[in-house]
Amino acid sequence: CASGAAQCSRGCALRFASLSIMKSGEACEQNSLAQSEEEKIAWATKMRREFSPEEMLQEDGSIDQEYFRVPSDAADNSRGVWKQKNYELLAQGIEEFGVGRWGQIREKFLPDWEDHELRIKTQRLLGIQSLDRYRGWSGDKAAIETLKAKHQAIGKACDSLKGGILVRDDQGLVDQELAKIDLEKIAPPS
């Protein structure tokens, strides 16, 4: 059985599958590439420690979410503070145009705010960090509240809430639970 590792330009070891060929030439057997969850987490922790700024990590190698928080004195308040009325307008924009259509939402409902700010406020409104699976989804205020409640429940069950926002976990439990949400039952297509 031949196996080996190669070095990439950053010196990371790359793993390759090894084949074991029987002398009779009748069969090949591929070694298992499956790693235990502990090995995956250990590898991710090692990569974080190697490539992330030290102040971004907690002692155990997990990401310190506070690192990404913008200091309150750095906020641009030239347009004022985001108010409940802005969330209501954002919800109307999501109902009319769908998640991810920031330009259209901004143009019609929230002209004083930038697209990236609307994305961040949508994350807060839906209670989830990654909006990928919701791109184009539209729902009314009740559907948005239902979806946020589901995200909160998943976050509590998987211990994956950061600042009230559902974030993905290293084990993939959050993604498994998100896959169970039927968006058409929450907000049927019109």
pTM, to two decimals: 0.60
Given the structure tokens 């004022």, which residue do they identify?
80
At 14 the pLDDT is 32
Local structure of 125: helix, strand or coil: helix
At 34 the pLDDT is 45
Q: What is the DSSP letter of 80?
A: -
At 76 the pLDDT is 52
Query: What token pair was written down for 42?
Result: 């250990």
Dist CA 169 CA 157 (whole Å): 12
Q: Is 180 exposed, middle or buried (0-12, 13-18, 19+ CB in 10 A)?
A: exposed
At 132 the pLDDT is 93
At 8 the pLDDT is 39
Dist CA 144 CA 156 (whole Å): 18
Instruction: State which residues of the chain have pLDDT below 50.
Output: 1-34, 77
- Confirm if 135 and 178 have CB atoms less than 8 A apart: no
What pLDDT, in 10s, does the model give residues 8-59?
333 333 332 222 333 333 333 333 344 678 888 889 899 999 999 999 999 9
Dist CA 120 CA 76 (whole Å): 15
